[in-house]
Amino acid sequence: MPEEDSLLAIRTQNLTRNYDGLCAVDHLNLAVNRGELFGFLGPNGAGKTTTIRLLAGLIRPTDGRAFVDGLEVSHKLLQVKARIGVVPERSNLYNELNLRDNLIFVAKLYGLSRGQREARADELLGEFGLAGRAGSPFASLSRGLKRRLTIAAALVHRPSILFLDEPTAGLDVPSARNLRAVIRTLHASGVTIFLTTHLIAEAERLCGRVGIIVKGKLIALDTPAALCAQGQGQRAINLVTSLPTDTLLSALKQSAEITRLSRAGDTLCLSVRSVDSAVRDVVGITQQLGITIEALRTVNPSLEDAFVQLTGLDVEALQTGKMLDNAGRKP
């Protein structure tokens, strides 16, 4: 094993994957430390899932190399698969099997003996709070519990590296919160976690470092705090109005004091040159249009601000998967 890989769980060298002329992953150079909870942040279609598939050996690269636990994936695939667990965005478990039988089946695929299979299944059901549902068909579970069992199945052979692809996508708030607690517990146990997400707040809460990928290219890589610091030069205002119409958005974009404008739900996020001058413009514009301001507050730069500054993408576009810049155009 090269000395540079001794402390790394994952390393790539110009890793590239093309599909019919489209470059899904573009010369990716990345290093993830052992024991790290690493976040891979980007819009849908940015190349996050393709990266996981390359690192797990599910597809071959067009160019470049990938190393997992010091082993080159394309040359040592069986050894790599013994060291990793993969949780896809959509569950790969069987609806007709109950929870315990699903885990036993996966354990059999990994070569565990019969006694080991049953013991490990029961152990995981207990750890993930699913022992009371062991005999229930997988199809009967809520989406949150299905995600929990899918993670348990990926851990059946005790991998040292876990790939989580959009683990909380589509979950309600309590289920997502519970799953994040599971992820933190796994990380605390020493498992290296490579987590893809398009949820900025999730990456900021969970991850020690975050890589941002857009259109196959890694455009930023650092701790959330360091990335937030890149937005320190941008002052920001959050604005909630009675009626955030397209007319209001167009008018705000004409202000020389507003450098960026994005939308997250019913909140307009404005990056401004001067807070005082921008507030005067906002008040004047809303009064002219007859729109009531319900809330207006200044905010410290966040990972969301850094993302917008680095990518030029609208935050709402990131969350919905529509690749638009903050002027409403496709990048």
Q: What is the structure's pLDDT at 317?
A: 56
Q: Give the pTM.
A: 0.77
Q: How confident is the model at residue 323 (pLDDT cuts 50, 70, 90)?
A: very low
The alpha carbon torsion through 152, 156, 162, 168 (nearest 10 deg) reads -10
CA distance 6 to 151: 27
Does 325 map to a domain?
no
d(CA 185, CA 208): 14
Q: How confident is the model at residue 97 (pLDDT cuts 50, 70, 90)?
A: very high
pLDDT value of position 200: 87
242-278 burial, b at 16+ Cβ within 10 Å, e below that, comes to: eebeeebeebbeebebbbbbbbbeebbbbbbeeeeeb
**Parallel, antiparallel, or unpaired for β 37-41 and 192-197?**
parallel
Whether 147 and 35 map to the same domain: the answer is: yes
Burial (CB count <10 Å: 0-12, 13-18, 19+), residue 160: middle
Neighbours of 201 (CB within 10 A): 13
Comparing 2-6, 7-11, 54-58, 77-81, which segment has the lowest mean pLDDT? 2-6
Q: Is 170 or 207 the better-scoring residue by pLDDT?
A: 207
**What is the model's pLDDT at position 269?**
84
Among 46-50, 179-183, 222-226, 240-244, whose mean pLDDT is lowest?
A: 240-244
In a domain, 160, yes or no: yes
Statement: residue 3 has pLDDT above 60: no
Q: What percent of the chain has pLDDT over 70?
A: 90
Whether 157 and 82 have beta carbons less than 8 Å apart is answered as yes
| Residues 252, 258 contacting (CB under 8 angstroms) | yes
* 286 and 176 in a common domain: no
Supply the range of the domain harboring residue 39: 3-222
Distance CA 144, CA 149 (A): 9
CA 66 – CA 117 distance, rounded (Å): 31
Whether the predicted pLDDT of 194 surpasses 70: yes
Q: What is the mean pLDDT of residues 269-298?
A: 88
The residue out of 222, 242, 275 marking a domain boundary is: 222
**211 and 185 housed in the same domain:** yes
| Confidence bin at 330 (pLDDT 50/70/90) | very low
For residue 290, how far is the Cα from the chain centroid? 40
Query: What are the tokens at 305?
Result: 């601000």
- Reported as a single tens digit per residue, the pLDDT across 101-155 is 999 999 999 999 999 999 999 999 999 999 999 999 999 999 999 999 999 999 9
What pLDDT sits at residue 33?
A: 96
Helix (H) or strand (E) holding 228: helix 224-229
| 248 and 131 share one domain | no
- The answer to whether residue 328 sits within a structural domain is no
CATH number at 309 reads 3.30.70.100
Helix H, strand E, coil C: the string for 85-122 is EEECCCCCCCCCCEHHHHHHHHHHHCCCCHHHHHHHHH
Q: How far apart are CA 290 and CA 286, in angstroms?
A: 6
Across the range 200-207, mean pLDDT stands at: 91
Task: Examine the domain organization and report whether 169 and 202 are in the same domain.
Answer: yes
Which among 222, 256, 277 is the end of a domain?
222
Residues 23 and 171 in one domain: yes
pLDDT digits (tens, 9 = 90+) for 262-277: 877 778 888 888 888 9
pLDDT for res 324: 37
Q: Does 326 map to a domain?
A: no
In this structure, the answer to whether residues 303 and 191 fall within a common structural domain is: no
Query: In this structure, are 124 and 36 located in the same domain?
Result: yes
The answer to whether position 329 is within a domain reads: no
> Containing H/E element for 179?
helix 173-188
Residue finishing a domain among 175, 195, 222: 222
Nearest-5° Cα angle at 239, 249 to 170: 85
Integer Cα distance of 216 and 40 in angstroms: 12
Burial (CB count within 10 angstroms: exposed 0-12, middle 13-18, buried 19+), residue 227? buried
Q: Could you tell me which of 99, 73, 226 has the C-alpha nearest to residue 152? A: 99
pLDDT at 4 (0 to 100) = 59
Rounded Cα–Cα distance for residues 195 and 10 (Å): 13
